[in-house]
C-alpha cells in the first residue's frame, strides 16, 4: 500500500533523511520509531505530498506522490505534528470545511461527520469554538479531520503527544481498531507506544533506518546479537544475501552512505575471522571490519523509555519499564 | 459546495470574527463619508460665492466637485487598508500550521490562492458596496450624471482587486503578518510612484512605460467616466500576474 524507495530529503546542507526505504502492506499498522530530529516528520511530509523528496520515490496505493499527488492525497488522512485546526471555527464548522476541501458531497459529509464525532467522542463539544478546547480535544479534532473521508491510508504524526494517560489509551485503542481495514503509519518517540499499537516497527535514527521488524522479534534480537560493520571495495550485487547465508549471521542491513554493511550476529560469537576470510577469498577487497558501537541500544537510549504521566495512570500494562 | 467555495466561506467566517475587519472597515467607511461630506461642503461654498459674483444660481457639478476627488482620495485609503485585510491570508496558516492541511488536501494550489483572493475581495466589495449609500443619498437632493459614478466604482473595484492580489502575494511570502502587510504596502506604493516618475520623464519611451505600469492613469480615466479596453486589460493582466506569482511562491516553498 505504501512504498518508500531510497527517499532522501535535504534542507539546504542538512540531510534530514537519507535513502529511507520501507514498505507497508495493506491493513498493516506500522510504527515509525525514532528520537526527536530523526526525520519522522520529514518522511511523513513526503508521503503526504506536502513536499517532494530531494531524491527517491514514494508510492501510496500505487500512485506516485510526485507524479499524481491529487490521487495520493485523496487516499490519505493526515494528522500533522500540530493539529491543523482553526481556532475561530466550531468543531462542526471545521470538520465541514475539511470535508469540502476533500471533495466530499453533502450526504457523505453528514455521514462522515456523525461517524467521527461518535468515534472520537466529540459529541459534547460539537458546537464549541476550537479555541476553547483543551489540548486533548484539539488532538481528537485533528484525528477526526484525518478520519473524516474514511481514507484507506492514515498517516499520524505523534498522535498521542500532549494527551493524558486515559486519552492515550483511547487513541491507541482507536488506532488498533483501524488495523485490517486501514493502512496506518504512526510516528512516535516512545518505545512502548510502538510495541503496544503496531504490528511492525521501523526504527529511524539521524535520518536513516537502522532496524525494522515485529516488536517482539526486535526486542529479542536486540538482546541476543552482536553487530559488525564491514566495508567492501567491490561488493557483488547480492552480497547482503550471501552474508545472510553465513552461519551465525542473523540479519544484514544494506549500506547507507559510506558503503558499510551492518551485520547482526548471534550473541557470544565472534564472526570477524570467518567474515574476513569469506570476503578476502572471494576477492571482493575488504576495506574495513569492526564491531559497531552505534547499535540499536544507542538509538533506544535516545527514545523515551517510559511515558511521562503514565506511572500515575490507571495501572495499565504500558506503565512498566520497557523490556528492551 | 466546491473546494474554492469552501475556502471562500471559511475566509469570510474567519474575517467576521476578526477585529481587524471591523476596525479597517469602520475607518474605511468613515473616511469615505467624511471625504464626500467635505467635498459637498466645499462645493456648496463655491456655489454661494458664484451666486454672489454672478447673481444667478449656477448648476453645481457634483461629479467634478464631489465624486471625482472622493474616488481619487479613496485610492490612497485602499493602499493603506487592503494590506491590513490581506496580511493574514497565508501568513497565519503558516504560523498556525494549518497550511499543512490545505497542502495535503486533494485541491490545487491555484484553488487555494484563488479561494483566498476571493474571500478577501468579497469583504472589500462589501465595504465598497456600503459606500454606495453616499451617492444614493445625494441623488435625493440633487441631480448628477450617474455614468462617471458607476465607472468610478468599477475603477475602485478593479484597483481593489489588484491590491488584494498584491496582498495575497505578500502574505504568501512570509509567515509574519506585519511583514506581509508592509510588503504589500511597499510594493503598491512603489508601483504608484512609478506613475509619478513617468510623469517627470514625460513623453519619452521610459516615461510612457512607467506611466503605463502604474495604476494611477488607468484608474483616473475610469474615474473621469472613460471606459477604455486598454485600462481593463491592464487591471486584468496585473491581477492574473500577481495571482500567478503567488501560486509560484507557494509552490516554490514546498521545495525548500
Ligand atoms: N523546514 C526545515 N528546514 C530545515 N531543517 C529542518 C526542517 N524541518 C526539519 N528539519 C530538520 O530535519 C531533521 C529531521 O526533522 P524531523 O523530520 O522534524 O524529525 P522528527 O519528526 O523525527 O523529530 C531535524 O534535524 C530538523 O532540525
Ligand atoms: Mg516530528
Q: What percent of chain A has pLDDT over 70?
A: 86
| A50 contacts B103? CB cut-off 8 A | yes
Distance from CA of A318 to the nearest CA of B (A): 31
Per-residue pLDDT, B156? 94
Which ligand is closest in space to the CA of residue B94? 1
Distance from CA of B204 to the nearest CA of A (A): 46
Cα separation of B189 and B187, whole Å? Answer: 6
DSSP per residue, B176-241 = -HHHHHHHHHHHHHHHHHHHHHHHHH-SSHHHHHHHHHSHHHHHHHHHTT---HHHHHHHHHHHHH
Distance from CA of B126 to the nearest CA of A (A): 21
Q: Are strands A225-232 and A260-266 parallel, antiparallel or unpaired?
A: antiparallel
The mean pLDDT value for B212-231 works out to 89
| A101 contacts B102? CB cut-off 8 A | yes
B181 located within any domain: yes
B34 located within any domain: no
Beta partners for residue A182, in sequence order: A179
Per-residue confidence band for A300, with pLDDT thresholds at 50, 70 and 90: low
Helix (H) or strand (E) holding A76: strand A76-79
Cα separation of B200 and B209, whole Å? Answer: 12
Q: Which residue of A has its CA nearest to B8?
A: A97
Per-residue pLDDT, A256? 62
3-state secondary structure A102-147: CCCCHHHHHHHHHHHHHHCCCHHHCCCEHHHCCHHHHHHHHHHHHH
CB-facing half-sphere around the CA of A174: CA atoms within 13 A: 21
Looking at ligand 1, which residue's alpha carbon is closest to its atom 7? A11
Per-residue pLDDT, A299? 60
Per-residue pLDDT, A55? 93
Least confident of A289-293, B122-126, B170-174: A289-293
**pLDDT tens-digit map of B54-106:** 766 666 777 778 888 889 888 999 999 999 999 999 999 999 999 999 999 99
Q: Which of A100, A130, A138 to mutate to test the interface with B (most CBs of B within 10 A)?
A: A100
The answer to whether A24 and A37 are in contact (CB under 8 A) is no
Q: Which of A10, A11, A32 to mutate to test the pocket of ligand 1 (most atoms within 8 A of CB)?
A: A11
B214 located within any domain: yes
Ligand 1 pocket check for A14: Cβ under 6 Å: yes
| B106 contacts A100? CB cut-off 8 A | no
Cell reading at B252? 516554490
The residue behind cell 517532494 is: A52
**Residue B256 pLDDT > 70, yes or no?**
yes
End-to-end CA distance of chain A: 29
The mean pLDDT value for B210-217 works out to 86
Per-residue pLDDT, A215? 74
A50 part of contact set with chain B, CB < 8 Å: yes
Per-residue pLDDT, A243? 85
Q: Which residue of B has its CA nearest to A75?
A: B106
Per-residue pLDDT, B141? 81
**Residue A323 pLDDT > 50, yes or no?**
no
Cell reading at B111? 484553488
**pLDDT tens-digit map of A266-287:** 766 778 888 888 888 988 888 8
* Domain count across chain B: 1
B151 located within any domain: yes
The answer to whether A153 and A60 are in contact (CB under 8 A) is yes
Which ligand is closest in space to the CA of residue A40? 1
The answer to whether A106 and A112 are in contact (CB under 8 A) is no
Cell reading at A62? 500505487
| B7 contacts A89? CB cut-off 8 A | no
Which ligand is closest in space to the CA of residue B255? 1
**pLDDT tens-digit map of A95-132:** 999 999 999 999 999 999 999 999 998 999 999 999 99
Nearest to A101 among B7, B13, B99 (CB): B7
Segments forming the whole domain that contains residue B186: 3-21+73-254
Cα separation of A22 and A264, whole Å? Answer: 19
CB-facing half-sphere around the CA of A126: CA atoms within 13 A: 11
Beta partners for residue A213, in sequence order: A201
Residue A36: phi, psi to the nearest 5?
A: -60, 140
**Residue B152 pLDDT > 80, yes or no?**
yes
**pLDDT tens-digit map of B21-33:** 999 999 999 999 9
3-state secondary structure of A29: strand
The residue behind cell 490581506 is: B86
CB-facing half-sphere around the CA of A137: CA atoms within 13 A: 18
Cα separation of B117 and B244, whole Å? Answer: 12
Per-residue pLDDT, B188? 93
The answer to whether A298 and A305 are in contact (CB under 8 A) is no
B158 located within any domain: yes
B33 part of contact set with chain A, CB < 8 Å: no
| B256 contacts A78? CB cut-off 8 A | no
Which chain A residues contact residue B100 at CB under 8 A? 45, 50, 78, 80, 82, 84
CA torsion sign, B89 to B93 to B98 to B100?
positive
CB-facing half-sphere around the CA of B82: CA atoms within 13 A: 37
B47 located within any domain: no
Ligand 1 pocket check for A77: Cβ under 6 Å: no
Ligand 1 pocket check for A7: Cβ under 6 Å: no
Ligand 1 pocket check for A97: Cβ under 6 Å: no
Q: Which of A4, A20, A37, A209 to mutate to test the pocket of ligand 1 (most atoms within 8 A of CB)?
A: A37
| A74 contacts B18? CB cut-off 8 A | no
B66 located within any domain: no
Cα separation of A135 and A133, whole Å? Answer: 7
Local structure of residue A90 (DSSP, 8 states): B
Cell reading at A161? 503527544
Expressed in percent and rounded to 5, the helix, strand and coil fractions of chain A are 35, 30, 35
Cell reading at B121? 475581495
Looking at ligand 1, which residue's alpha carbon is closest to its atom 24? A37
B59 located within any domain: no
Helix (H) or strand (E) holding A291: strand A286-291
The answer to whether A40 and A186 are in contact (CB under 8 A) is no
Which chain A residues contact residue B107 at CB under 8 A? 101, 103
| A102 contacts B106? CB cut-off 8 A | yes
Cα separation of B211 and B209, whole Å? Answer: 5
The answer to whether B102 and B188 are in contact (CB under 8 A) is no
**Residue B214 pLDDT > 60, yes or no?**
yes
Amino acid at each position: 500500500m505504501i512504498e518508500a524507495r531510497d527517499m532522501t530529503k535535504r534542507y539546504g546542507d542538512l540531510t534530514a533523511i537519507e535513502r529511507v526505504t520501507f514498505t507497508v502492506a495493506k491493513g498493516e499498522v506500522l510504527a515509525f520509531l525514532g528520537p526527536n530530529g530523526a526525520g519522522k516528520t520529514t518522511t511523513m511530509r513526503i508521503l503526504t505530498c506536502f513536499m517532494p523528496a530531494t531524491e527517491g520515490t514514494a508510492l501510496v496505493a500505487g500512485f506516485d506522490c510526485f507524479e499524481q499527488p491529487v490521487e495520493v492525497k485523496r487516499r490519505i488522512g493526515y494528522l500533522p505534528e500540530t493539529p491543523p485546526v482553526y481556532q475561530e471555527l466550531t468543531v462542526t464548522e471545521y470538520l465541514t470545511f475539511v470535508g469540502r476541501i476533500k471533495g466530499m458531497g453533502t450526504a457523505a459529509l453528514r455521514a462522515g461527520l456523525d461517524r467521527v464525532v461518535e468515534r472520537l467522542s466529540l459529541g459534547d463539544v460539537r458546537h464549541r469554538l476550537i479555541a476553547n478546547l483543551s489540548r486533548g480535544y484539539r488532538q481528537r479534532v485533528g484525528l477526526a479531520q484525518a478520519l473524516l473521508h474514511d481514507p484507506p491510508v492514515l498517516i499520524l504524526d505523534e498522535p498521542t503527544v500532549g494527551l493524558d494517560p486515559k486519552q492515550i489509551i483511547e487513541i491507541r485503542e482507536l488506532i488498533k481498531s483501524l488495523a485490517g481495514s486501514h493502512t496506518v503509519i504512526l510516528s512516535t518517540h516512545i518505545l512502548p507506544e510502538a510495541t503496544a499499537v503496531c504490528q511492525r516497527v521501523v526504527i529511524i535514527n539521524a535520518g536513516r533506518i537502522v532496524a525494522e521488524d515485529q516488536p517482539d522479534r526486535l526486542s529479542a534480537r536486540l538482546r541476543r546479537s552482536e553487530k559488525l560493520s564491514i566495508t567492501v571495495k567491490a561488493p557483488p550485487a547480492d552480497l547482503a544475501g550471501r552474508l545472510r547465508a553465513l552461519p551465525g549471521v542473523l540479519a544484514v542491513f544494506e549500506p547507507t552512505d559510506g558503503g558499510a554493511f551492518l551485520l547482526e550476529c548471534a550473541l557470544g560469537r565472534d564472526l570477524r575471522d570467518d567474515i574476513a576470510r569469506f570476503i578476502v577469498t572471494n576477492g571482493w577487497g575488504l576495506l574495513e571490519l569492526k564491531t559497531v558501537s552505534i547499535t540499536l541500544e544507542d538509538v533506544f537510549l535516545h527514545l523515551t523509555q517510559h511515558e511521562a504521566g503514565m506511572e500515575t495512570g490507571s495501572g495499565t500494562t504500558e506503565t512498566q519499564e520497557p523490556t528492551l | 459546495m466546491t473546494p474554492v467555495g469552501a475556502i471562500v466561506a471559511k475566509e469570510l467566517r474567519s474575517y467576521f470574527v476578526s477585529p481587524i475587519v471591523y476596525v479597517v472597515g469602520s475607518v474605511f467607511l468613515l473616511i469615505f463619508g467624511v471625504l464626500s461630506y467635505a467635498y459637498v461642503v466645499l462645493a456648496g461654498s463655491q456655489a454661494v460665492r458664484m451666486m454672489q459674483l454672478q447673481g444667478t444660481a449656477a448648476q453645481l457639478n457634483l461629479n467634478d466637485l464631489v465624486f471625482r476627488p472622493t474616488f481619487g482620495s479613496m485610492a490612497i485609503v485602499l493602499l493603506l487598508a487592503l494590506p491590513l485585510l490581506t496580511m493574514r491570508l497565508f501568513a497565519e496558516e503558516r504560523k498556525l500550521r494549518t497550511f499543512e492541511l490545505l497542502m495535503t488536501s486533494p485541491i490545487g494550489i491555484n484553488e487555494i490562492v484563488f479561494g483566498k483572493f476571493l474571500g478577501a475581495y468579497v469583504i472589500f466589495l462589501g465595504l465598497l458596496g456600503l459606500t454606495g449609500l453616499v451617492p444614493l443619498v445625494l441623488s435625493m437632493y440633487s441631480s448628477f450624471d450617474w455614468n462617471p459614478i458607476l465607472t468610478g466604482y468599477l475603477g475602485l473595484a478593479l484597483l481593489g482587486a489588484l491590491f488584494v492580489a498584491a496582498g495575497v502575494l505578500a502574505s504568501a511570502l512570509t509567515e509574519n503578518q506585519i511583514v506581509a502587510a508592509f510588503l504589500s504596502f511597499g510594493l503598491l506604493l512603489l508601483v504608484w510612484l512609478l506613475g509619478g516618475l513617468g510623469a517627470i520623464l514625460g513623453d519619452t519611451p521610459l516615461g510612457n512605460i512607467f506611466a503605463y505600469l502604474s495604476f494611477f492613469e488607468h484608474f483616473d480615466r475610469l474615474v473621469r467616466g472613460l471606459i477604455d479596453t486598454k485600462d481593463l486589460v491592464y487591471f486584468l493582466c496585473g491581477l492574473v500576474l500577481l495571482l500567478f506569482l503567488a501560486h509560484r511562491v507557494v509552490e516554490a516553498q514546498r521545495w525548500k
